[in-house]
Amino acid sequence: MRILLVSSEAVPFAKTGGLADVATGLAKALASDGHEVVLALPCYRRHIPEEGRGEKIGQVEVQMRMKRVRADILETDLPESSLRVWLIDQPNYFDRASLYVEGGFDYADNSERFLFFSRAVLEAAHNLYFLPHIIHANDWQTGVIPAIVREQLRQTVDFNGVGSVFTIHNMAFHGSFPPWDLELTGLPQKLFNWRQMEFYGQLDLLKTGITFADMVTTVSPTYAREICRSEFGCGLDAVLNECGDHLVGILNGVDMDAWNPELDPLIPKTYGADHLQPGKGICKETLQRELELEVNPSAMLFGMVTRLTDQKGLDLIAPNMEALLQGNTQFVFLGTGDPHYEELLRDLEIRYPGRVSATIGFHEKLAHRIEAGADAYLMPSRFEPCGLNQQYSLLYGTVPIVHRTGGLADSVIDATPENLANGTATGFSFTPYTPAAFLESVWSAVGMFQHRQDDWQRLLQIGMTRDWSWNRSAREYMRVYERALERAKSP
């Protein structure tokens, strides 16, 4: 199958969160299964060094209101993969310090930037004659693509029968813009109505993706069910309910070339399920030393690597820090985002020297070292479409403690006596989302770590030896693509 996968971020080029890992991981898995895959993303010049941009293979021009805007199409590849990567190079839009936000504010022209990107990719597919069977768009940044496919592209000879798939990575981001931005989509005014592109008077790109795609997916089965309810649907639960069985939840996989403790070049010593020590111990000791925590193998070290937003459950952690430090515990935080949470973490580090470390920033290497060096991983997210860090933790023998929601519920099985006995337990999960339930879960973990090391080791082994790779999920995406093709062909 020929697949065009369009994403606003992808590792190793540009990343703010899990979408970047998923875009590349899925694209690589599909390519290695023999499909012809092109992955397209913007050429963020300040994130992608010139030598990593490949070569120019073409140019496109898109009418954006009164002006025609050009972009170069650069093509590069990834080592040891047949995947092709297109970088859409338009410096006015993409030569910026960040991807979406600067100094706490979204770029004012984000709708223009990503509508241009979406349209430029489709134009490039046409000009360069890469005629895909499936165009797979992700999140609001590319939400207009399914609408263009259905309303315009499919009417052309070249793209007749092309199927569209839209994946929701996070319902919290709608891509909501003033109604006059509709003009930037190149689509007719008649589509700006409450059943299609409009939501509370605004142009809504998430809703657009959902309503026009042949198949809609989200990144875990539990989140697929949750978003059909008002608590999680962010206003679009009714729209999602209308999708019926065209909405499918597929748990993200892990790119085992990037996140694998047996091979990871970013950690001080590699290890695996059948040779945990001395590697894991060395990773812990190094982390404690490098972050100026007390070097103490018996202290239980908790890690957390995250975007600092309301989503991630910091409101359960911060007020309970005093209680959490009652035991022989240490905490390592790495994150960036909301200035309020950045401040909060800095403050914890100052108040608890040697016990709490907080690094504000985005550091790939440190993220790997925390996954490897910590004993347990905190992910008490209020909601979590999938979550990758709990899966990385499972693979790295770092026991996750999570709120039982979305993809966390699908990957972390609580260490109840029954689950331990039947060999399914992989971590600790709590519900409801309350400080009491959270603390109880943490104390269960501390109790097991300190007094029942046999159970702890068994828990860790189950997580480390389960298949978290993309193989399984990529096969599920193929089934979705086939269904999208059938729907695209039906009148």
- Residue with smaller CB distance to ligand GLC, 301 or 305: 305
CB environment 79-93: b (16+ within 10 A), e (fewer) = eebebbbbbbbbeeb
Q: Which is nearer to ligand GLC, 306 or 441 (CB)?
A: 306
Site size for ligand GLC, by CB under 6 A? 14
Q: Exposure pattern of 169-193 as b/e (b: 16+ CB <10 Å)?
A: bbbeebbbbeeebbebbbbeeebbe
- Which one of 12-20, 54-62, 179-187, 225-233 is the stretch in contact with ligand GLC (CB under 6 A)? 12-20
**Could you say which of ligand ADP, ligand GLC, none residue 100 binds, taking C-beta under 5 to 8 angstroms by partner kind?**
none
* Cβ nearer to ligand GLC, comparing 141 with 185: 141
Q: Which of ligand GLC, ligand ADP, none interacts with 305 (beta carbon under 5 to 8 A by kind)?
A: ligand ADP
Q: Which residue has the tokens 């694209």?
A: 27
Say whether residue 22 binds ligand GLC (CB under 6 A). Answer: yes
Give 97's DSSP letter: S
Is residue 307 part of the contact set for ligand ADP (CB under 6 A)?
A: yes
Tell me the residue number closest to ligand GLC, measured at CB: 18
Residue 12 as a binder of ligand ADP (CB under 6 A): the answer is no
| Residue type for position 89 | D
Please tell me the distance from the alpha carbon of residue 6 to that of residue 122, in angstroms, as a whole number: 10
Q: Is the dihedral of CA 453, 459, 462, 465 positive or negative?
A: negative
- 3-class DSSP assignment, residue 212: helix
Which two structure tokens, joined as six digits, stand for 342? 């950045």
252 scored as a contact of ligand GLC (CB under 6 A): yes
Our CA angle for 334, 338, 342, nearest 5°, is 45
Q: Which two tokens stand for residue 236?
A: 């679009």
* Stretch of 14-22, 126-134, 144-152, 225-233 lying at the interface with ligand GLC (CB under 6 A): 14-22
Task: Choose from ligand ADP, ligand GLC, none: what does 414 bind? Cβ within 5-8 Å by kind.
Answer: none
For residue 477, give both structure tokens.
């995406």
Distance of closest approach, residue 10 Cβ to ligand GLC, in angstroms = 12
- 267 touches ligand ADP by CB under 6 A: no
Considering only residues 387 through 446, tell me which ones interact with ligand GLC, judged by CB under 6 A: 387-388, 407
In 3D space, the residue among 79, 415, 461, 396 whose CA is nearest the CA of residue 263 turns out to be 396
**Quick one: 387 or 397, whose CB is closer to ligand ADP?**
387
386 is a contact residue toward ligand GLC (CB under 6 A): yes
Are 148 and 78 contacting, i.e. CB atoms less than 8 angstroms apart? no
The C-alpha atoms of residue 273 and residue 271 are separated, in whole angstroms, by 7
Region 320-349 residues binding ligand ADP, contact defined as CB under 6 A: 334-336
Q: Which helix (H) or strand (E) holds 342?
A: helix 339-351
Return residues touching ligand GLC (CB under 6 A): 17-19, 22, 169-170, 219, 252, 384-388, 407
Return residues touching ligand ADP (CB under 6 A): 17-18, 21, 305-307, 334-336, 362-364, 367, 386-389
